[in-house]
Copies of this chain bind each other. A is one copy, B any other.
Amino acid sequence: EMNRIKHKLISLSYLLSDWMFLALLGVAVAFISILVDMMVFSFQEIQRKTVSIYNIYGSDQSYLLWGCGLLGWCGYMIGLVAASACFVHYVAPQAIGSGIPEMKTIIRGVILVDYLTLKTLVSKIFGVAMALGSGVPIGKMGPFVHIASVVANQMCLLAAKFDSAYREESRRMECLAAACAVGVACTFSSPVGGVLFSIEVTTMYFSVRSYWRGFFAACCGATTIRLLRAYVVETEVTVSAFYQTSFRPDAFSVDELPLFALLGLLCGILGAGYISLYRCVVLFLRNNQYAKMVFQRHWIVYPIVISCIFSVVSYPHGLGMFSTGRIKFGTNLRDFFANCSFIVTSSDDLVCGAEIYSHWLNRGNILLLLFLFVLVHFIFSIISFTLPVPSGVFLPVFVLGAAIGRFYGEIIGLALEDIHIIHPGIYAIVGAAAFSASVTHTVSVSVMIFEITGQLHFILPVMISVMLSNAVCAYLQPSFFDTIIKIKHLPFLPDIPPSNNLVHTTYAEHIMVTPVKFITKITTYNEIREAVQTGLRLFPVVDSKNSQMLIGTVSRRYLTVLLNGKIGDHPRKVEAEKRV
């Protein structure tokens, strides 16, 4: 009896230590996330201050100050991008890129060398902080999936010293799966969507057990993030959502659902275009001889050139004034999601506030500006992913989707101005969900968007458009992450074929060899020799050439033996000797 109780206690302590491990993982990644956020924030603050010189002394609009501002702005951006690239290059180049494709490969059982070491962790944390700080349109979700996985791996190695259970491969894999969930959850503090998203992008099959573990770890991480944001980071004061929206339940009517469906279709097509454009850019950089000559020989040239172009274009007092260069990338999500219309002036409560107005509206034609924003970020975000720095895909795609949705919503609002009141903010949310869902091939984005905005009213339009955009893009292209896996030549497990459909649409005629080589009673040796040389292994024997009734089969090996016995070297020699 004592033994049984002791056994139970030991088992309980193991259980507790397991959950403690997961909780610790969540908290640790949350702290790293806040650390990175603070670094990024201070980097961007310095940049704002640099560029504000022009504002302070710039009342006389001198060209000198304008130039100084430009120099400071560009230098800062180029410097940070180059620093990030150099740091990552020399510390651990495994940190380059998103990390989700690599984790997908690792969770499928492939061992990628040095991807989960402490060195990679350091490289990724500071690399992504500098890259984000520079203002290049990249996200932090992918890198955080990678960071969380490295943390989990290192914690496993550490724990293995005290508890042999952590030495097992299956346990390590479970921890990595949970870590992916934590990584996503810690980006937007969205535990549920985080778990589902990580499952969708990294696995094909999974157990309910590891879903629970991921959920728990993600909850710990998200809770820590929210508490830290409330108490430590002074920019926020509540434990509410990241981009809390304020729509009323009647912000859209059922009649608008077809419009949302159309937006979903549009986002699906654009998403497929986005993925294929990315593939083209990467393959161009890899195969074009000039690109090869310059960029592959001197790897540092490429990030400098790109960041130079991007910084010049986004300079707030130059071209950037047309594309909201003055506010941080990502912050304009608040503008897109705002419950007001940029254009419509018919009803007073829909007109946007002064702050948003200052970002966008005093620059002329707002529709043109939005279109330019979409176009510029469509191209620049794709190019940013090709930089040799840690970079996430989700946020840029999400912002791009929001801009597309806002653009679509504003146009609809303008077209139906007299008939129906449209809230373009809802369209921005739906667009963000649909576009990011289509590019990543996930439906859990619809859960994430509820957690990001803290509202659920728009569940119907979000669901409809996410399903549609997903279906369209999945039909046209593999997901963005699978594309990266293919481009990087990582071991790629193809998707499970859409089972029964393909099985039932593949007929024998699709795989059969035609015309059929066959052997009859009157086939000559010569014809048999030719038939044997075709490489087929088995030949049908038919009654006659006309009826083609199958009598049996004969293998190439047997035919060859027979043939050698009749017209091979030996019988020929015999025949020759006989004739001589």
Taking a contact as CB atoms under 8 Å apart, the answer to whether B205 and A475 are in contact is no
Partner of A459, one of B7, B451, B501: B451
**A456:B208 contact, CB within 8 angstroms:** no
Contact indicator per residue, chain A 214-239, by CB within 8 Å of chain B (1) or not (0) = 01100100110011001000000011
Cβ–Cβ contact A205 & B207, under 8 A: yes
Interface footprint category on A: 35 or more
The proximity string for A residues 494-529 relative to B, scoring 1 for CB distances below 8 Å and 0 otherwise, is: 001011111111000110000000000000000000
Say what secondary structure dominates the interface of chain A. helix
Task: Tell whether A192 pairs with B249 under 8 Å between CB atoms, given A216-B467, A503-B165.
Answer: no
Contact indicator A501/B165 (Cβ below 8 Å):
yes
Does A117 reach chain B (CB closer than 8 Å)? no
- CB of B456 within 8 A of CB of A450, answer yes
Give residues of chain A (167-185) contacting chain B, Cβ–Cβ below 8 Å.
Answer: 168, 170-171, 174
How many Å lie between the Cα of A239 and that of B252 in the bound state?
Answer: 10
Residues on the B chain within 8 Å of A171, using CB? 499-500
A165 vs B498: C-alpha distance in the bound complex, in angstroms? 12
Residues of B contacting A7 in the complex (Cβ-Cβ under 8 angstroms) = 505, 510
Cα–Cα, bound, A207→B496 (Å): 10
Kindly list chain B residues whose C-beta atoms are within 8 Å of the C-beta of A216.
443, 467
> Across the interface, which residues of B come within 8 angstroms of A204, CB to CB?
207-209
Given contacts A204-B207, A460-B226, contact A215 B443 (CB under 8 A): yes
Per assembly, the copies of the chain total 2
Contact B500 A170 (CB under 8 A): yes
**A241 near B: Cβ within 8 Å?**
yes
CB distance A498 to B170 under 8 Å? no
CB pair A208–B219 under 8 Å, yes or no, is no
- With beta carbons under 8 angstroms apart, the residue of B454, B502, B510 that contacts A457 is B454
Contact of A475 with B249 at beta-carbon distance under 8 Å, contacts A171-B499, A171-B500, A215-B443 already known: no
Choose the segment among A10-18, A54-62, A267-275, A353-361 that binds chain B (4+ C-beta atoms closer than 8 Å): A10-18
> Is there a chain B Cβ closer than 8 Å to A447's Cβ?
yes
Q: Given the complex of chains A and B, what is the CA–CA distance between A450 and B456 in angstroms?
A: 8
How far is B254's CA from A240's CA once the two chains are assembled, in angstroms?
11
- Scan residues 423-448 of chain A and give those whose CB is less than 8 A from a CB of chain B: 443, 446-447
Contact partner of A456 among B203, B211, B241, B505, CB < 8 A?
Answer: B241
| A471 interfacial contact with B, CB 8 Å | yes
15 additional contacts (CB under 8 A) given A191-B459, A454-B457: A14-B505, A15-B475, A15-B501, A166-B500, A209-B499, A216-B467, A223-B460, A223-B464, A227-B254, A238-B249, A239-B460, A240-B249, A241-B456, A249-B454, A451-B456
